[in-house]
Amino acid sequence: MEIGSKIKRLRQQLNLSQSELADRCELTKGYISQLENDLNSPSIATLVDILSALGTDLSEFFKKEDDERIVFSKDDFIEKREDGMTFRWIIPNAQKNEMEPALVELESGASSGMDFPHEGEEFGYVLEGRITISLGGVKHVCKKGESFYYGASKAHEISNAGKSTAKFIWVSTPPNF
């Protein structure tokens, strides 16, 4: 682990200059610069002081960081096909996140199936074709270039009564698919 670069990142996140951090720790700007460039190593006591000034502590500072992925490709998608619907989870393991996005293709006459009321919200954007959203028995048509958004506290279903396949992004929060 490069201690200096991590100290620098924390300092910059707080919008502190090297001088401001040095003042808070009773150190010199030059010493902070040397640390951040990994030209010097702090004693444990000095590191504790610096981390305290940065609003963290040793255990948090040295906690193993997850290699959080930001970008995903088609190779990462997980696909499920049944009854005229192709459902692609476009973020792997999305059910552990706050929201769960999917890319859905509904063939003509196909439906997502009735989803019973649950906590959360759902959002979508139609890429191709048109879909019908049935929410609490009321039907709403959503066409290419349009989006939908609703609370999931009523029974709901998405269907395709059109003649061509409909394709849309569907996001549920919390994860529900």
DSSP characters over the chain = --HHHHHHHHHHHTT--HHHHHHHHT--HHHHHHHHTTSS---HHHHHHHHHHTT--HHHHTSPPP-------GGG-EEEEETTEEEEESSTTGGGSS-EEEEEEE-TT-B---B---SSEEEEEEEESEEEEEETTEEEEEETT-EEEEESSS-EEEE--SSS-EEEEEEEES---
pLDDT tens-digit series, residues 67-90: 677 898 998 899 999 999 999 999
The domains of the chain, with CATH numbers, are 3-61 (1.10.260.40), 74-173 (2.60.120.10)
Instruction: Report the pLDDT value the prediction gives residue 70, as an integer from 0 to 100.
Output: 85
pLDDT tens-digit series, residues 98-140: 889 999 999 999 999 999 998 999 999 999 999 999 999 999 9
Instruction: Report the pLDDT value the prediction gives residue 1, as an integer from 0 to 100.
Output: 61
Q: Model pTM?
A: 0.63
